[in-house]
């Protein structure tokens, strides 16, 4: 039987990169959103400019599930290269939409799906003479056809076209005509599908935004005035978004003068060097990069740690190691970031789960970097960073005050306050610092990456070095109380099993937990939002016989951090790992946890 669903199904577009399909597919998703039905959209694209396969997945979800479900109900198969794989993904009873200009043998189809053919190429060849127009308008024609098949309101798509090509009436008219070509063909030749979109009111005041843009706006809100960066997928759009926001929000309205500095440096090493230099001078500065960039930056990160200079790094994680999969997502930089630098180093990490938290933590990172006088990482990934997510509106408070931490100014120095740049003050491991030029004769010190005493004077005396390193540990322990704390979910009943997770895995984990609950498998759950880990994280582990640690990397990096930092018995933490480069799905989590729990259950004794 054909699948039947209302406001709850998955559409996947299989296209060729460079064909112009991405904007059409995004318009399809936004049209459903405009009808008040939540969507979760994922763009899965290759790292070359054009020619390789690309996919765009749209989950229509009135229930509001923002993670990937797994499985495809309607496949829009526009790429002959991936045809067999794409057809195999369709759920039994699902639908295949394709360009039927050229007939295909029966072996290319499945008996358990419904096939819907529209002669897209023939329609384009008849209507357009220019090859590029044939390619681009083909995408709009299939959007019109799909809208009619799924009951999406054509007027909504027309409005989106008018907004996209505002002021370009000829382009608007041409795209609307292509849209109607698809609509009219379906109305005349085909029947609507049993998958339907019906207007609802489930979106509310939420916004649809990429995590990179949200983090960039958070940096502005957090007082950042310096950005030094080198282009690298998938972080480039964060720096570009920051540039745009600064042009709007950090330009003097009277003089037109920029009150910010953005430097596209010659490489990642120079980028972090600019950031550390600006932080030493009192500016709030950051860079945006990915795993390979972090690898190059480690020496400067170690300098920031040991010389105690504020810096913020937005690490938009991608598939590794080395060049890896530049346009695929992973959560595989945790260990590299947490311990970046040679010798004994530890850095605070913030772990946002959606664009809303990218904004909040993007701002918070600068307060933490100043308070702790160190590098703070904000750990996004490609899934959050480069995909648009539904999220709550950002809260902007013009009265928000920046936390500059322990800084001595002219008045304190003139009053005779004792100043030692690395002098222990009140037991939290954080010394006072001064800005250059704070006082003509007092508060100066020599910044160095070599060992020194509390007054910043060079020293290789063992006891002095040990004292300084132990103070840095006390400072890191202070960070435990300052980074965002964990969030407990599903803790209303006593259960032997728990789940720990973080970041972009969150919506899929929540959906999986609901499915497991339905099946009678009850698990407590804890979302980690910061490193160093709060005491509540280790109490949660201690309270359960076994904890599943769900993450998107091969080597169970979050689990490793938990074992190392909490001295946890590794047997108590069971890794659930997904690392093929696509965002994790609720089905994957449900099936993996169900299997692992069943393997642990004792087998019934054989009858005598």
Cβ atoms of 301 and 347 closer than 8 Å: yes
Is a pLDDT exceeding 70 seen at residue 607?
no
Measure the N-to-C terminal CA separation of the chain; round to a whole number of Å.
47
Residue 48: pLDDT band by 50, 70, 90 thresholds?
confident
Q: What is the pLDDT of residues 196-250, one digit of tens each?
A: 999 999 999 999 999 999 999 999 999 999 999 999 999 999 999 999 999 999 9
Determine if the peptide bond prior to 271 is cis (ω within 30°). Answer: no
Q: Retrieve residue 322's tokens.
A: 């080395």
Scanning 190-333, the segments in alpha helix (DSSP H) are: 211-221, 236-249, 268-280, 291-307
DSSP 3-state percent helix, strand, coil across the chain (nearest 5): 40, 20, 40
Is a pLDDT exceeding 70 seen at residue 605?
no
Instruction: Report the share of the chain in percent with pLDDT over 70.
Output: 98
The domains located in the chain, with CATH, are 5-196 (3.40.920.10), 209-391 (3.40.50.970), 410-481 (no CATH), 487-599 (3.40.50.920)
Is a pLDDT exceeding 70 seen at residue 153?
yes
Closest by Cα among 211, 196, 161, 204 to 33: 204
Q: What is the pLDDT of residues 421-447, one digit of tens each?
A: 999 999 999 999 999 999 999 999 999
Averaged pLDDT score across all residues of the chain: 95
Residue 94: pLDDT band by 50, 70, 90 thresholds?
very high
- Strand-by-strand arrangement of the 375-381 sheet: 261-264, 226-229, 285-289, 311-317, 375-381, 349-350, 530-531
d(CA 215, CA 382): 13
Is a pLDDT exceeding 90 seen at residue 599?
no
pLDDT of residue 492: 61
pLDDT of residue 600: 66
Is a pLDDT exceeding 50 seen at residue 604?
no
Convert 502-515 into a string of H (helix), E (strand) and C (coil).
CHHHHHHHHHHHHH
d(CA 570, CA 559): 8
pLDDT of residue 47: 84
Is a pLDDT exceeding 60 seen at residue 168?
yes
pTM, two decimals, is 0.96
Is a pLDDT exceeding 90 seen at residue 18?
no
Q: How many residues does the chain have?
A: 608
């Amino acid at each position: 039987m054909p699948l039947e669903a209302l406001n709850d199904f998955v559409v996947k577009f299989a296209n060729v990169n460079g064909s112009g399909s991405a904007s059409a597919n995004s318009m399809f998703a936004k049209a459903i959103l405009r009808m008040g039905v939540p969507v979760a959209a994922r763009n899965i694209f290759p790292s070359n400019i054009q020619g390789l396969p690309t996919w765009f997945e749209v989950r229509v979800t009135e229930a509001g599930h923002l993670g990937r479900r797994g499985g495809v109900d309607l496949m829009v198969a526009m790429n002959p290269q991936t045809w067999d794989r794409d057809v195999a993904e369709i759920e039994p009873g699902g639908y295949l939409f394709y360009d039927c200009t050229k007939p295909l043998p029966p072996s290319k189809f499945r008996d358990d799906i419904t096939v819907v053919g529209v002669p897209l190429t023939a329609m384009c060849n008849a209507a357009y003479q220019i090859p590029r127009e044939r390619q681009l308008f083909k995408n709009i024609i299939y959007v019109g056809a799909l809208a009619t098949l799924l009951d999406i309101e054509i007027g909504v798509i027309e409005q989106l076209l008018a907004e996209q090509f505002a002021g370009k009436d000829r382009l608007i008219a041409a795209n609307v005509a292509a849209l109607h070509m698809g609509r009219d063909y379906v109305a005349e030749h085909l029947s609507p599908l049993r998958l339907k979109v019906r207007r609802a009111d489930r979106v509310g005041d939420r916004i649809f935004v990429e995590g990179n843009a949200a983090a960039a706006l958070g940096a502005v809100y957090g007082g950042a005035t310096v950005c030094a960066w080198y282009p690298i997928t998938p972080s480039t759009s964060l720096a570009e978004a920051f540039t745009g926001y600064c042009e709007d929000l950090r330009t003097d309205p009277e003089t037109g003068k920029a009150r910010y500095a953005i430097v596209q440096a010659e490489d990642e090493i120079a980028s972090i060097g600019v950031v550390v230099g600006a932080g030493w001078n009192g500016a709030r500065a950051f860079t945006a990069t990915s795993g390979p960039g972090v690898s190059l930056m480690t020496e400067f990160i170690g300098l920031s740690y040991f010389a105690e200079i504020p810096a913020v790094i937005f690490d938009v994680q991608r598939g590794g190691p080395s060049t890896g999969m530049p346009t695929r997502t992973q959560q595989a930089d945790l260990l590299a970031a947490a311990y970046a630098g040679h010798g004994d180093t530890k850095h605070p990490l913030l772990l946002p789960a959606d664009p809303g938290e990218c904004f909040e933590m993007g701002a918070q990172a600068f307060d933490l970097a100043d308070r702790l006088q160190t590098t703070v990482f904000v750990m996004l990934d490609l899934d959050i960073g480069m995909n648009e997510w539904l999220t709550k509106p950002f809260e902007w408070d013009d009265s928000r005050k920046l936390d500059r931490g322990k800084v001595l100014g002219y008045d304190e120095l003139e009053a005779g306050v004792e100043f030692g740049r690395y002098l222990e003050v009140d037991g939290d491991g954080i010394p006072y610092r001064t800005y250059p030029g704070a006082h003509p004769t007092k508060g100066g010190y020599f910044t160095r990456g070599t060992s020194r005493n509390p007054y910043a004077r060079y020293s290789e005396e063992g006891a002095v070095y040990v004292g300084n390193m132990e103070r840095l540990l006390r400072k890191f322990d202070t960070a435990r109380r300052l980074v965002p704390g964990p969030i407990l979910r599903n803790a209303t009943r006593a259960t032997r099993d728990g789940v720990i997770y973080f970041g972009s895995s969150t919506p899929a984990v929540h959906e999986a937990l609901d499915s497991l609950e339905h099946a009678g498998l009850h698990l407590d759950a804890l979302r980690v939002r910061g490193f160093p880990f709060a005491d509540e994280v280790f109490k949660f582990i201690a309270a359960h016989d076994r904890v599943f640690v769900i993450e998107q990397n091969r080597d169970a990096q979050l689990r490793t951090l938990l074992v190392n930092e909490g001295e946890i018995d590794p047997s108590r933490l069971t890794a659930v790992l997904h690392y093929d480069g696509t965002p994790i799905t609720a089905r994957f989590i449900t099936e993996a946890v169900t299997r692992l729990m069943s393997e642990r259950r004792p087998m019934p004794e054989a009858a005598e």
